[in-house]
């Protein structure tokens, strides 16, 4: 059970999931992949997403992982069930179910879901919320400018204007906001400034409980007493990856290696 957990996203966004997982499961070994060469995922077709994620899953399997976490809403919305069929030997979890459950626990009636184009087009959030509660008003909004602003590191200079442009029309319409992209918690502070006093539900946080429960129920917890080993790879440029994530991710001597499939 010392086998690592494999976690991936299109870039630095999934590090928000990794951070929560490290807190929740400090003894687990983990391998993170940021598929920056193909970022942003939000504008890709289902076929493209499946091809990228198959390469990643094949790599994880070569590394003998015990579980794969899609730290990415776009792939969770579009290719999760396909990957589960292709790799039946390994548990694969996405972020959307746990985020919706987290949202339903908040007991709010009008929600805005912000996410990438491909997640919004799938209508997965709306479908799942309405499956449990048909009376909840679900507004869906694609916010495609955000991931490039975060990946480039521009968010560090403030992106309130862009956030305001997207969110302002919904200020009086909703009482809660689902951050349906794992990149968005990186700018949560800025979101709260332009869109205050809402319930904020982050897919990066919600997924951790599900991973932890799964490992517990299946007796797959790592038994070691030392802190888990974390390996980080990017298919892009490690320097750029470090620059964009240094504002929110604490590296503590972690190296970022380049990965080529
Ligand atoms: N962070 C990912 C998500 O949760 C992917 C964003 C992108 O690459 O467009 O959707």
Tell me the CA–centroid distance for residue 180 and ligand 1, in Å: 9
Q: Which of 72, 75, 121, 205 to mutate to test the pocket of ligand 1 (most atoms within 8 A of CB)?
A: 72
- The predicted-structure confidence for 223-234, as pLDDT tens digits, reads as follows 899 999 999 999
Euclidean distance between CA atoms 116 and 42, whole angstroms: 5
What are the DSSP calls for 53-66, one per residue? HHHHHHHHHHTT-S
- The predicted-structure confidence for 134-178, as pLDDT tens digits, reads as follows 999 999 999 999 999 999 999 999 999 999 999 999 999 999 999
Q: Which of 7, 11, 46 to mutate to test the pocket of ligand 1 (most atoms within 8 A of CB)?
A: 11
Ligand 1 atom at minimal distance to the Cα of residue 75: 10
Contact 70, 82 (CB under 8 A): no
- pLDDT above 90 for 210: yes
- pLDDT above 90 for 1: no
Structural domains in the chain plus CATH codes: 5-94+205-258 (3.40.50.1860), 96-204 (3.40.50.1860)
pLDDT for the residue numbered 162: 98
Sign, CA dihedral 187-189-191-194, equals negative
Catalytic residue list: 72, 181
pLDDT for the residue numbered 261: 87
- pLDDT above 90 for 252: no
pLDDT over 70, % of the chain = 100
- pLDDT above 90 for 15: yes
Ligand 1 atom at minimal distance to the Cα of residue 119: 10
Euclidean distance between CA atoms 97 and 250, whole angstroms: 28
Ligand 1 atom at minimal distance to the Cα of residue 74: 10
Q: If you average pLDDT over residues 235-258, what whole number do you get?
A: 94
């Amino acid at each position: 059970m010392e086998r690592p957990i494999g976690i991936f996203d299109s870039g630095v966004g999934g590090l928000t999931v990794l951070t929560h997982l490290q807190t929740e499961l400090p003894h687990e070994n983990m391998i993170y992949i940021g598929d920056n060469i193909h970022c942003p995922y939000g504008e890709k077709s289902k076929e493209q997403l499946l091809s990228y994620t198959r390469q990643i899953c094949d790599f994880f399997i070569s590394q003998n992982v015990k579980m794969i976490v899609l730290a990415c809403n776009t792939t969770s919305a579009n290719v999760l069930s396909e990957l589960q069929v292709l790799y039946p030997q390994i548990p694969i979890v996405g972020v959307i179910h746990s985020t919706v459950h987290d949202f339903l626990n908040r007991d709010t009636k009008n929600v805005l879901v912000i996410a990438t184009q491909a997640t919004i087009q799938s209508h997965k959030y709306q479908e799942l919320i309405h499956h449990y509660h048909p009376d909840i008003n679900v507004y869906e909004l694609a916010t495609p400018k955000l991931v490039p602003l975060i990946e480039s590191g521009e968010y560090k200079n403030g992106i309130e204007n862009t956030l305001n442009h997207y969110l302002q029309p919904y200020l009086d319409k909703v009482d809660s906001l689902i951050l349906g992209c794992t990149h968005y918690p990186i700018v949560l502070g800025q979101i709260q400034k332009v869109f205050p006093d809402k319930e904020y539900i982050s897919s990066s946080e919600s997924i951790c409980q599900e991973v932890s429960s799964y490992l517990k129920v299946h007796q797959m917890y790592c038994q070691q007493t030392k802190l888990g080993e974390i390996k980080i790879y990017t298919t892009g440029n490690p320097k750029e990856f470090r620059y964009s994530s240094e504002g929110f991710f604490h590296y503590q001597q972690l190296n970022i290696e380049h990965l080529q499939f």
